[in-house]
Chains A and B, each alone.
Chain A
């Protein structure tokens, strides 16, 4: 029975692979987890926007294809790519080895450190096993921040895992969480600019060890879609060359450098 099942699954996979190779993309569906301000979010009018969205649309323009954005919660975003709900993921996804086994990445298009955020009266200046002892840490489920916190702090602290970054910020404002670990720009636009309470960055921004924090954000594709990844890489190089990239960058991050 088991053999039969895996054989038929294999058959399906082969069929899917051969049809995929024959496919020429003139409509690329891109999976994205919204909201993740300022990388991807909706304006008050309900329009999808953000750094990833603007850059992605620009890349599609250069390639002469139409982009269609498909919303998908983060914890199912890679399986969604595999099951062909969309053809690429452009959703602040950090390139790391664990993910490289599953997906094919474009060249990195931006580098973002992670950081700890807490209310200004928490009274710690550094996040270590000692200072975080007994605290409740918030992370988004299945992110590299989740992996990092799970591997390093699960013995000393409680970890609350959220489906979206929004729910986590809400619980931070509700004082259910002591401290959260987030991509720096996300924490900056959701917490540091919050009017509810005063939040600060605890310690340095973190982008080491590479095992967790990888090599910047990349666009993810199915392993076999090498041609598509190559198209995106060429368009990305072009956009970086002619200054369009800097223009989009300034739109969301001001003049501050991406590090």
Chain B
């Protein structure tokens, strides 16, 4: 342990930018970014499954509202959505007195809400495409077995739709990680916020941003790796068989 800290101090010796202090900011940023992206993806996923089912409904009055939601959130920049949710809400009279304020007061939750709604909209459309692409034969077979629409959705359509959606959803996760870089505009100290802080304090754009780019690359690799593993497991039946 002592060796490691000594080695670490040697590594940092004579370095004015990457001191223990600034590395602390980067670490704090890594934690914030990870929390924000992970939580918004989980919440977005949970929202997206029922929304995707509604969106593929034959009834207009069910699918249309969901379509409007995805249209608005996919049709406007995430940065604008974040501005509206963070700065916009304070212009609602008396918002400070409502039960919502303790949540909206912190920069973290408005950012989380904006990211969740945004990823939910994209994920809904990804799932809807996958549901629509279910092979007709599978549906006919399910009907022939006498499955109710509900059971058929649960046992036949959704499981195969999830598999089909996996590669596209992996991309969405990576996009979300990169989109989270805008969190620093609402004072959150995420990875990009830490880089901007170091940049502004030491006037060192190359060091500050190259370092943070390297961290984003590592995170992206981890996500890629995870989805490749999932695809290998879940899409095994699609691979060519060995003789």
Binding site for B on A (CB under 8 A): 74-76, 78-79, 82, 102, 141-142, 146-147, 160-163, 167, 170-171, 173-176
Q: Mark B64-99, 1 if CB is under 8 A from A, else 0.
A: 000000000000000000000001001000001000
Q: Is the CB of A79 within 8 A of B90?
A: no
Q: How far is the CB of B154 from chain A (nearest CB, A)?
A: 44
Q: A102-B203, A141-B196 are in contact. Are A162 and B187 (CB under 8 A)?
A: yes
Inter-subunit contact B90/A75 (CB<8 Å): no
Are B90 and A173 closer than 8 Å at their CB atoms?
yes
Query: Within 8 Å CB of A146, what residues of B?
Result: 200-201
Contact with A along B182-197 (1 / 0, CB 8 A): 0001010100010011
Give every chain B residue within 8 A of A176 (Cβ-Cβ).
90, 105, 107
Give complex CA distance A205, B196 in Å: 28
State in angstroms the CA–CA spacing of A195 and B13 once bound together: 51
- Interface check B50, CB cutoff 8 A: no
Whole-angstrom CA separation of A142 from B205 in the bound complex: 13
Give the residue name and chain of the B residue nearest to A167 (CB): B87
- What separation, in Å, do the CA atoms of A195 and B98 have in the docked complex? 22
Q: How far is the CA of A171 from the CA of B107 in the complex (A)?
A: 10
Question: Nearest chain A CB to B148's CB is how many angstroms away?
Answer: 51
Known: A167-B87, A170-B90, A174-B90. A141 touches B203 (CB 8 A): no
In the complex formed, the residue of A with least CB distance to B110 is A176
Question: Is the CB–CB distance between B105 and A163 below 8 Å?
Answer: no
Instruction: Decide if the interface of chain B is mainly helix, strand, loop or mixed.
Output: helix
Known: A79-B203, A102-B203. A161 touches B197 (CB 8 A): yes
Interface string of B94-124 (1 = CB under 8 A from A): 0010000000010100000000000000000
Please name all residues of chain A whose beta carbon is closer than 8 Å to the beta carbon of B87 when the two chains form the complex: 167, 170, 174
B107, B189, B200, B205: which has the most chain A beta carbons within 10 Å?
A: B200
Q: Contacts A141-B197, A141-B200 known; A79 to B96 CB distance under 8 Å?
A: no
Task: Find out whether the CB atom of A175 lies under 8 angstroms from the CB atom of B203.
Answer: no
CB neighbours of B197 from chain A (8 A): 141-142, 161
Q: Which residues of A contact B185 (CB under 8 A)?
A: 163
Contact A175 B105 (CB under 8 A): yes
Is B199's beta carbon under 8 Å from chain A?
yes
17 A–B contacts, CB within 8 A, in A order = A79-B203, A102-B203, A141-B197, A146-B200, A146-B201, A160-B187, A161-B187, A161-B189, A161-B197, A162-B187, A163-B185, A171-B90, A174-B96, A175-B96, A175-B105, A176-B105, A176-B107
Q: Which residue of A lies closest to B201 (CB)?
A: A142
Closest A residue, CB atoms, query B24: A154
Distance between Cα atoms of A76 and B87 in the complex (Å): 23
CA distance A176 to B106 in the complex (A): 7
Nearest chain A CB to B213's CB is how many angstroms away?
16
Would you call B196 and A75 a contact (CB within 8 A)? yes
Lowest 3 A-B CB distances belong to which pairs? A142-B200, A174-B90, A75-B200
User: What chain B residues lie within 8 Å of A175 (beta carbons)?
Assistant: 96, 105
Contact A160 B107 (CB under 8 A): yes
